[in-house]
Chains A and B, each alone.
Chain A
Amino acid sequence: MRIAPGEYFLQGNEACVEGAIAADVRFFAGYPITPSTEIAEGLAHRLTGKDGVFLQMEDEIACISAIIGASWGGVKAMTATSGPGFSLMQEAIGYAAMSETPIVVVNVMRGGPSTGQPTRASQGDVMQTKYGSHGDYQVIAFAPASVQEMFDLTVDAFNYAEKYRVPSFLLSDAEVGHMRGLLTVPEAINVVERKEKGLRRPDEAYDVPDDLVHPFPVFGKGHKTMITGMTHTDKSKIEPEDVKVHQELVKRLSEKILRSRKDINKWELIAPGSKTMIISYGSAALGPKEIAAKDDRIGLLRLKSLWPLPEEPIYEAARQCDQILVCEMNLGMMYWPIKRIALEAGCKRIELLSKVGGEPPTPSEVRHKLREMGAI
């Protein structure tokens, strides 16, 4: 049962649970791992069997496999994990992309590589989310920076997974997952239902043409659905040796996401047109946000979605400013694609404030860097 409209003080991971329930999740499979465990524990309470299924599987590979299976049963399905578990899921993420299975994967990022810092925040998995499985594919990923966004963007992750038949990610981190804050649950929540084959559907939710996103043939409805991770034609015929079939399939899987960037991408803009723009996301943006709110020399582009890459807002911000500071909690990952776009937009100076170790850059650390850049 959905949380009633109103105001609540919750933990980020708890807000994610509420968002999933609000989006109508009916199947969750998880394996304990810090700092995401509260999501599994929360959903174990909420999905009791009759109104949906909670499963604790034997490992994370089983979790993601089970949610893909559940999704073919026609229900909204999700898993939540962190670093090591996310690494184990990579093969199946590619399978979900190739088989066009809507699933939601929450990764509450912690410091890596390997076991790293189980209790501390990081943004080290942003590239893995896009490039972790083998082959060419595209995904959708959101980066919440508050308890409210843990709720809102979880709902969005489900909506976009359904709309585009694609694995969709909530890239949170230990800081956002464990912070407490205000959640305002609105009266009306936009929930997108699956574009199911053979069913009439609300047109406005599906402004994606059928040749890019095919209607979903749910199992058990006489469609004789054939799903495979091998190269296949639109009619599910396996053609692993056919050059053209492979080209068409892989290009369509990418195109359906890349062409819809404007529909998917979300961001927050503070003081656009400032001479110096900070570009950041997730908990790394908390410090920069303090500064941009107070100092009118500094603007902020906070990316709420990371994949597909929000090229347009980055380009626009870069076109209007003299210099950019990218702020993230890794040794420079989103920095490179952002720099590429900024250079294309004619911005000459693109600096990086990188902080690893488990806590977001503080406002004074950001100010220190801005001083170095001559921005303040």
Chain B
Amino acid sequence: MELFEFYRKDRWPHVFCPGCGIGTVMNCFYRAFNELELPLDKTAFIGGIGCSSRIPLYINSDALHTTHGRAIAFATGLRLAKPELKTVVFTGDGDLGAIGGNHFINGCRRNVDMTVICINNNIYGMTGGQASITTPHDYQSTTTPYGNKEYPFDLAEIAVAAGANYVARWTTRHVHELTRSLKAALQKKGFAFVEVVSQCPTNFGRRNKMADPTQMLEWFRQSSVRRDKTKAAEVDHVDLNLAGQITIGEFVDRNRECYEELIGVGKHG
């Protein structure tokens, strides 16, 4: 499938800023989806609200652009009502981890078959750069003018603890690994979660001395540590600071029975 068979050409130009990491994720996702030769007409794309959550509206298939934070709950209903549809959720750190946190952890726990891709740009991009639940400690945002005094969530670790079948985290600097994980997630039965640490040059980089997107990619390169090489005791991998690290890799790959199988819903489709 050509790029513009997969993405809707009539929606171009898109709303994303130059240098935004969302483009990289869209590119990797297209590759993963295409290489697996999945049927586009049998895949539904669901987004919440935010820059990242807009991706479904550019894909040439059924798209449900929902309310802020609730994409997983919408996807749960859609998937169980029409089990022959594959469901893919695009969400952001604010959408998934703040306002939608409850649906996120319960989605992992319930283990309905869906692929959830979170573009974690450490900020509320769409609303102009307010601190999010993944803004690193002491970083700048419009709502933390004296530096962020809170500490960030580790979304991937939450997904592991809550029971997702597949969990991986990469950055937009790791396009090959990310594409591979997206393929794994799309093939996984049950709740699969891929977090992509991504650059928002407009609203995060600019306020944190990394206005040029390449500076952020360099930050990602320097701070990323493969999960199998981390020594948890030595570093606080929750804290995505320059001084700390971004733990990347596959966090979990398991096969808990998914909810559809448990209630026999697969059969009614």
Residues of A whose CB lies within 8 Å of any CB of B are 26-27, 29, 48-53, 55, 57-59, 61-63, 65-75, 77, 91-92, 95, 219-220, 222-230, 238
Quick check: A226 and B57 within 8 Å, CB to CB? yes
Q: List 16 A-B contacts (CB under 8 A).
A: A49-B265, A62-B106, A66-B73, A69-B66, A69-B74, A69-B81, A71-B77, A71-B81, A72-B78, A73-B78, A73-B80, A220-B41, A220-B44, A220-B62, A220-B84, A224-B41
Taking the complex as formed, is B70 at the interface, i.e. its CB lies under 8 A from any CB of chain A?
yes
Chain A, residue nearest B10 (CB): A237
CA distance A277 to B74 in the complex (A): 46
How many pairs of residues, A versus B, come closer than 8 Å at their CB atoms?
A: 132
In the bound assembly, the distance between CA atoms of A91 and B75 in angstroms comes to: 17
The answer on a CB contact under 8 Å between B62 and A70 is no
Do the beta carbons of B63 and A50 come within 8 Å of each other? no
Q: How extensive is the interface on chain B, given as a class?
A: 20 to 34
Residue B184, interface by CB 8 Å: no
What residues of A have a CB within 8 angstroms of the CB of B66 in the complex? Answer: 65, 68-69, 95, 229
Given contact pairs A225-B63, A229-B65, A57 touches B265 in the complex (Cβ within 8 A)? no
Give the residue among B41, B70, B85, B263 with the most A Cβ atoms within 10 A: B70
Q: Are A65 and B74 CB-contacts (below 8 A) given A70-B81, A220-B42?
A: yes
CB of B77 within 8 A of CB of A219, answer no
Considering the complex, which residues of chain B in the window 63-98 have a beta carbon less than 8 Å from any beta carbon of chain A?
63-67, 70, 73-82, 84-85
Nearest CB of chain B from residue A320's CB, rounded to whole Å:
46
Contacts of A230 in B (CB 8 A): 65
Q: Please name the residue on chain B nearest to A54 by beta carbon.
A: B263
Q: Closest Cβ of chain B: how far from A240's Cβ, in Å? A: 11
B82 touches A219 (CB 8 A): yes
Assuming the contacts A49-B263, A219-B85, A226-B57, asked whether A69 and B63 have C-beta atoms less than 8 A apart, the reply is no
Partner of B81, one of A59, A65, A75, A228: A75
B189 located at the interface, meaning its Cβ lies under 8 Å from any Cβ of chain A in the complex? no
Q: A58 and B103 in contact (CB under 8 A), knowing A224-B61, A227-B64?
A: yes
B13, CB-defined interface residue at 8 Å: no
- Please determine whether A51 and B268 come into contact, CB atoms closer than 8 angstroms: yes
Interface residues of B (CB under 8 A from A): 41-42, 44, 46, 57, 60-67, 70, 73-82, 84-85, 102-103, 106, 263-265, 267-268
* A224 in contact with B102 (CB, 8 Å): no
**B46, B82, B102, B267 — most chain A CB neighbours (10 Å):** B82
Q: In the complex, how many angstroms separate the beta carbon of B7 from the nearest chain A beta carbon? A: 12
Give Cα A62–Cα B110 distance, bound, in whole angstroms.
13
Closest Cβ neighbor of A235 among chain B residues: B10
How far, in angstroms, from A227 to B75 measured CA to CA in the complex? 13
Determine the distance from Cα of A226 to Cα of B8 in the docked complex, in whole angstroms: 11
Question: Which residues does chain B contribute within 8 Å of A228, judged by CB atoms?
Answer: 57, 63, 65
Chain B residues lying within 8 Å of A51, measured Cβ to Cβ, are 268
A219-B44, A219-B82, A222-B41 are contacts. A77–B77 as well, Cβ < 8 Å? Answer: yes
Q: Which of A48, A55, A58, A91 contacts B80 (CB 8 A)?
A: A55
Nearest CB to that of B46 among chain A residues? A69
B57/A219 in contact, CB under 8 A: no
Q: Which residues of B contact A27 (CB under 8 A)?
A: 77, 80-81
